[in-house]
Amino acid sequence: MTRSFRESLLLIVGVIAAMVLSLAPFLWFVSIGFKPQVEITAIPPRLFPSDVSFTAVHEAIFTFGLMHFIKNSVIVAGCTTIVCVVVGCLAAYPLARLRIPYRRVILLGILAVAMFPQISIAGPVWRILRALGWLNTYQGLIIPYLALTLPLTVWILANFFGQLPSELEEAALVDGAGLFQVLTRVIMPLAAPGVFTAALLTFIYSWNEFFFALLIMTERDRQTLPVGIALFPGEYTMPWGEISAASTIATIPLILLVLFFQKRIIAGLTAGAVKG
């Protein structure tokens, strides 16, 4: 057995092990959502249902109001992503292009804001939102999400903008374009992979975030997907089938987004890694 063969075999085994560890939990809760009730708690457990049942899916959508939670998550995650990307671009562009003193320190300070544990800022955030009357409102959840996601967005975009050739901007400025026109018509099209990457990371965080959504959205009608699913009511036991079916439906949009924008995401994450 040659060395290259052993290395290839080890790599294949590692890939298979990573796939099993990653997919096994996902396949397990997907299968629970399509099992008859008697098979969900059966011992020994079975990975695949003997008879596919859509009862849990029907109950999650029509009895527990899953679509209403999806609507709330789309509003919160969508608005957070749009505002975060717009503000992030306006903040990242001057940090990347202008000769600002201590620019690197400023970027590190911005990124450090996102490192605070959520529990450490929960109390002040809740008191501020209560004083503003923004508890159980969309903007009351969007604002904390912006505070948590904007630093990473600015960091990603500032580093991405810094990799773009400055000659294009100089040519546009010579032709009479303003800074805002340079940003929107020259820089943004070239920076599309980085913008897509930042937008997708922001959307995924806002879609999956649980702690602040539970803290701020206490009214059932305003709860987002993670909180709404976690608080599915059960009469005597936890409705594991409905929770699994709802979780599967909630995961599908993220999977589709990643698959659809896969090339742009990879380009955004690897931008600037190789020069020359």
> Which residue type occupies 112?
A
pLDDT score recorded for residue 52: 84
Residue 227 is assigned to a structural domain of this protein: yes
Structural domain containing residue 214: 67-270
How many residues in total does the chain contain? 276
Residue 95 is assigned to a structural domain of this protein: yes
Q: For residue 275, is pLDDT > 50?
A: no
Residue 42 is assigned to a structural domain of this protein: no
pLDDT tens digits, 31-49: 888 888 888 878 887 778 8
Of residues 228 and 260, more confidence is placed in 228
Residue 50 is assigned to a structural domain of this protein: no
Using CA atoms, how far apart are residues 183 and 170, in angstroms rounded to an integer? 12
Residue 116 is assigned to a structural domain of this protein: yes
Residue 52 is assigned to a structural domain of this protein: no
Q: How far is CA 42 from CA 11, 37, 45, 53, 243, in A?
A: 37, 9, 5, 15, 17
pLDDT score recorded for residue 120: 86
Between the two ends of the chain, the Cα-to-Cα distance in Å is 38
Using CA atoms, how far apart are residues 69 and 242, in angstroms rounded to an integer? 14
- Are residues 190 and 96 in contact, defined by beta-carbon separation less than 8 angstroms? no
Backbone dihedral angles phi then psi of residue 179, each to the nearest 5 degrees: -60, -40
Domain of 78: which CATH number?
Answer: 1.10.3720.10
pLDDT score recorded for residue 208: 93
Mapped onto helix, strand or coil, the DSSP state of residue 100 is coil
pLDDT score recorded for residue 189: 81
Question: What's the whole-number mean pLDDT along residues 223-235?
Answer: 87
